[in-house]
Amino acid sequence: MLSVIGQGYVGMPLALAAASAGHDTVGIDSNSKIVASISSLHSNIEDISDAQIKTAFAEGRYRITSTYESIKESEIVVICVPTPLDASGVPDLSFLQTAVLEVAHNLKNDALVIIESTVAPGTTRDFVAPVLDRAKVSYDLAYSPERIDPANKNWNVKNTPKLVAGMTSSATRLALNFYQSFVSDVVEGSSIEVIETAKLLENSFRLINISFINEIAEMCVKMKIDVREVIEAASTKPYGFMPFYPGAGVGGHCIPVDPSYLSWKAKEMGARTRFIDLANEVNHERPYYFTEKAVEMLGVIENKEILIVGVAYKPDVSDTRETPALDLIRELRKAGAQVSWHDDLVQEWNSEKSSPLANTYDLAILVNPHSGTDLSKLGSVRILNTRGGF
């Protein structure tokens, strides 16, 4: 039996992929609303359809619960819980700690435990293992970071290469065998610390390059050229270049968070991460920059009606975690603007409801409009596009 703790954007696709490969899978989630939704055959994420859940239930290979009882019978336990930052920007391992404690309390002898949550280098060995040791049973421990890009139509759990490393050769072998049953390309690392660091490097690379293109976008505005056309032109080079695109900032569960885990660990060791620190600074300035652009366009924004279009952290998902829209709205309201927002996929957020698109606003700011958002409904409303272009 397989137990997957966390049935969100990471755990749910993993559980269904494993179930489709023949694993008797139990999804565990402490959120009763998620459990109720999935139990009623309704998906809580865009990448999984209701039909996929219905099929998994019908085949008898998947079920969901809010209890940890299944761990007592599970040969494999995978932990896919959030590891955000706390209010001071320090790694918050409270969700991971709760999950690991529950696993230790219920762990079966000789079970394999795999951590997919993003953590700082050394966390699996120095934080997770000592907790599992309380179980007083034999177990294997491995690390295999999630690589989920919500709304990506090309890459999913089954065809995205999977990194794996175990605390022991036995743990590595067991983890490789598990993932190879439903992932086409599984890559073995020499140590858990290498793979933990690789995960953080991936998203630090993205943060730094998004910050860089945000600065280039500002320069292009001053030059009165379209940054997106510049990016398209540069992208014709078949080597040595990768396109990144500007925006109101970075959001989601990875890019705004993972680099800070790497930076935090570096500071702990006395090393420097100046590129990450500068990239964070550039992205944190974006709400102020676009508030200033709004003032330039309207002359004054006090009591002006401004609509933010797209409050999810990226187009075509309903996830608002770390969305750049939050700070932008805060700054606009601080400047006196009357701000409302529209999002086709997010109907309620921060105790507010989505406002309709209409030709009644003084300005519309495009943050993350979805592919189905009908911007023509704005009519002659002036538009500020944070994603580049005119």
Residues noted as catalytic: 254
Nearest to 262 by CA among 202, 190, 209, 216: 202
Question: Distance of CA 167 to CAs 26, 43, 179, 188, 270, Å?
Answer: 25, 35, 16, 12, 26
Q: How far apart are CA 217 and CA 224, in angstroms?
A: 10
Are 81 and 99 contacting, i.e. CB atoms less than 8 angstroms apart? yes
**Residue type, position 326, single letter:** L
Element at 174 (helix H, strand E): helix 169-180
Would you say the C-alpha torsion 27, 33, 34, 35 has a positive or negative sign? Answer: positive
Residue 149 CB contacts under 8 Å (≥ 6 apart), including other chains: 155
Question: Distance of CA 38 to CAs 42, 46, 54, 61, Å?
Answer: 5, 13, 9, 14
Q: How far apart are CA 254 and CA 354, in angstroms?
A: 25
Question: Distance of CA 143 to CAs 66, 146, 227, 233, Å?
Answer: 24, 10, 39, 40
